[in-house]
Structure formats: C-alpha cells, structure tokens
Amino acid sequence: MSNIYNISKPIGILGIGSFGTVLANLIAERHSVIMYARKQSTVDNINIHKKHREIEILPNIAATTDLRFLAGHCDIIFPVLPSYAFRNVIKELSDFLTSNHILIHGAKGFDVKIDFTKGPVEIRPKDICTMSEVILEETPVHRVGCISGPNLAKEIAQRQPAGTVLASKFKEVLTIGTDILQCDRFQIYRSNDIKGIELAGVFKNYIAIAAGASAALGYGENVKALLITKGISEMIAIGKTLGVEPKSFLGLAGIGDLVATCSSPLSRNYSVGYRLAKGEKIEQIIATMTEAAEGINTVKVIKYLSDTMHIQAPLVGIIYKIMYEGFSLEQGIKLLMRLNAGQDVSFY
C-alpha cells in the first residue's frame, strides 16, 4: 500500500444527506471526519450543536463550507451526493484535488449527458455515466471506488448490523476503504467490478417503486417475490447492454439491496411507490420529499434506453405508465400478468 495515503488524517464526507451523515458517524468511531455542507447554518449546527437531521453527531466530526479546506486536509473523500448534483459539485471540488486523492462515492444514480426530463428521447449507452466515470472525467483523481448495498440510513444510525460492497479496480482503494469502514457491525465485501456494482445500486431503485406501490394496495409476498425476481432478470438484461456481466447483480449490491429496498418503508423509492398507489401525483411527491429518490429519474432513463436499444424491459415500461401516463397500479399489475412470460429467467 502506498505510503502517501495517511488515514490518520481526517476522512472527508462530501454531502450531508441521511446516508452521508450516518457514514460520517460510522467512520468517526475510529477516525476524525470533516463533512462539507453548502449552508453555514448546517455547518454551525454540526460544529456547535453536534446534531444534523435528528442524528447526534460524534465529537470528532467537524464541518466546513470550504471545498479547498476539505481537499487540503483529507486524502480520502467519500462523495455521498444525489446524482443530479454530483457532476457540478465534483467540478467545484476538482480545482483542489490532485492525482494523490482517493474518492469513494456512495451515490446510486446516473449522470445523463442529454436532457431527458421533458419527454421521451433516444438514450444510448454513450449518453450515460456512472458516478465513478464522472469523477474520472472531471478530476485528476484516478483511484476511485464506490460503496453500494442494502444500507438503509436509519438502521445504521440505530447501530444495527449491515454490510456493503466496496468496489474498485485498485487494490489499495479496496484495502484503505476496508480499513476505514469495517467494524464489528458494518461488514465490507470487495469487488473489482465497479461499474457492475454501481449499476446494481441504480437499477434496483425503480423496482422498489413498484414494490412500494404493490404494498400500498395490499398485495402480498407473492407479488413482491414476482417483482424482485423479474426485476433482477430485467436488471441483468439492461446491464449487459451497458457492458457489465451478471455476477454483480446477483450479490449484496444487487439482490441484497433489491430485497431491502423492496421490503422497507425506510426506502425513499419504496415510499414513492406507496404514495403513488395512494393517489398522489408524482409532481406532488417530488415537491414534498426532503431527499431525492433516485428511482424517479431512473425510470425515465431506463425506459428511454430500453426503447432506443430494443431491450426487453417490460417492468420498467409498466412503472413508467403508472408514473407518467395515468395508468393505475391495478392496470399495471394486470398488464404484468398478461405478458407472455416465456422462459423463467436468462442470465446469459
């Protein structure tokens, strides 16, 4: 392991959402931590009152509004940002980064290079970036990694056991990241397939929306199992189009995260589906959410990608109809059940 990485220095957290906050506390049990926030009021609340988002902040966590300060004091930084803000914030940070930094992100969304928000467009694989690809495009950093898995922030904040997948092409990123994150209640599993792990964390979001909607209407475990198993098959088909192999979708960051987010009201995407099924419009849900639900944009991106590339992805098509074309969930379930089922599953 290179001696330029000094984990006795503070560890940086870029982003102050629920997961970023609990990740900061987890790391702060053994390391000092510097968190970045845009608002001075948020920084003051963390530094003075030691509280953020109703979470008690450990004493050895400090906060700053200064990206130069963050990059200057931290060799290792964890960007935990919503995908819509990721590129712009990383661009701002880039001025203060060198090739000696390590960035390990915790985002579960796409960066799309064309405007897909105003209606159907053609989206091709070249138009989509994962967050690690954004880091490589926008910064001098080349040692990048990601963490992804069934990591519901509220459970981690309650000190419940959990695990995550740490992915990187660099052995030293895997070694250092494990040293920082692993403890007696947070298990780290390693992978070299960073793009596969990233995509697994993105794809499961839209299936969790369907699971939340199903639960709101009183459907039981049989329908949930159908959604999860057909969803994982669909994830693999889409992933192959984007150049990744099935194995990462079959592990903790794929099936594991899918089971957790399809089963828990703590999942933001599950909550979106639940509220949709109770009659709220997607615009109303977005306007009242305190944190981004990545699945809302993921549905559009995957729908337009699958249409453009002729991918068989009926589940995302049904969810899209429910969210944007006025279909009821009952209509969606009926459509799902009328599909020509064919082969059970094909992973290759």
Span 63-96, pLDDT tens digits = 999 999 999 999 999 999 999 999 999 999 999 9
Split at pLDDT 50, 70, 90, the class of 3 is very low
Say yes or no: 231 and 185 in one domain: no
Summarize the confidence of residues 42-58 as an average pLDDT: 93
Residues 147 and 255 in one domain: no
The vertex-275 CA angle with 265 and 328, nearest 5°, equals 125
Mean pLDDT, rounded, for 169-175? 97
Range of the domain at 76: 11-195
Q: What angle do CA 216, 221, 223 make, to 5 degrees?
A: 75
Q: Which of 141-145, 151-155, 235-239, 281-285 has the highest mean pLDDT?
A: 141-145
> Would you say residue 1 has pLDDT above 50?
no
For residues 37 and 169, state if they share a domain. Answer: yes
The predicted-structure confidence for 98-115, as pLDDT tens digits, reads as follows 999 999 999 999 999 999
**Among 158, 179, 195, residue at a domain's last position:** 195
Q: What integer pLDDT is reported at residue 327 of this predicted model?
A: 82
Within-domain flag for 35 = yes
Where among 195, 212, 237 does a domain terminate? 195
163, part of any domain: yes
Helix (H) or strand (E) run with residue 176 in it: helix 171-181
How far apart (Å, rounded) are the C-alpha atoms in residues 44 and 61? Answer: 12
> Cβ(139)–Cβ(90) under 8 Å?
yes
In terms of pLDDT, which residue wins out, 134 or 279?
Answer: 134
Are 203 and 278 in a shared domain? yes
Is residue 268 within 8 Å of 288, Cβ to Cβ?
no
Q: Is 347 part of any domain?
A: no
Same domain, 328 and 189: no
CB 78 within 8 A of CB 71: no
Q: Which of 204, 230, 300, 303 is catalytic?
A: 204
What is the band of 179 on the pLDDT scale with cuts at 50, 70, 90?
Answer: very high
CATH number of the structural domain spanning residue 51: 3.40.50.720
Q: Does the pLDDT value for residue 336 go beyond 80?
A: no
Domain final residue pick, 195, 226, 261? 195
Residue 37 sits in the same domain as residue 151: yes
Please check whether residue 234 lies inside any domain of the structure. yes
Q: Is 203 part of any domain?
A: yes
* pLDDT band at residue 61 using 50, 70 and 90 as cut-offs: very high
pLDDT digits over 112-131, tens only?
Answer: 999 998 889 999 999 999 99
Give percent above pLDDT 70 in the chain. Answer: 95
The mean pLDDT value for 214-242 works out to: 89
Same domain, 241 and 186: no
pLDDT in tens, 22-34: 999 999 999 999 9
Are residue 134 and residue 211 in the same domain, yes or no?
A: no
pLDDT at position 344 is 65
Tell whether 208 and 120 lie within a shared domain: no
Q: Sorting pLDDT into bands at 50, 70 and 90, what band is 347?
A: low
Confidence of residue 172 (pLDDT cuts 50, 70, 90): very high
Decide if pLDDT at 250 tops 80. Answer: yes
204 is catalytic: yes
Say if 48 falls within a structural domain: yes
Query: pLDDT digits over 262-274, tens only?
Result: 999 999 999 999 9
Q: Which residues pair with 165 in a beta bridge?
A: 148, 189
DSSP states of 38-87 = S-HHHHHIIIII-EETTEEPPTTEEEES-HHHHHHH-SEEEE---HHHHH
Question: 158 and 28 in one domain?
Answer: yes
Tally of domains within the chain: 2
Say if 62 falls within a structural domain: yes
Q: Kindly state whether residues 240 and 137 are assigned to the same domain.
A: no
The pLDDT value recorded for residue 291 is 86
Model confidence over 315-326: pLDDT tens digits? 899 889 888 888
Q: Look over the chain and give the mean of its residue pLDDT values, rounded to a whole number.
A: 91
Do the domain assignments include residue 37?
Answer: yes
Q: State the Cα angle at 220 between 218 and 222, rounded to 5°.
A: 150
262: domain CATH number? Answer: 1.10.1040.10
- My answer on whether 187 and 44 are in the same domain is yes
Residue-level pLDDT at 341: 59
The pLDDT of residue 7 is 61
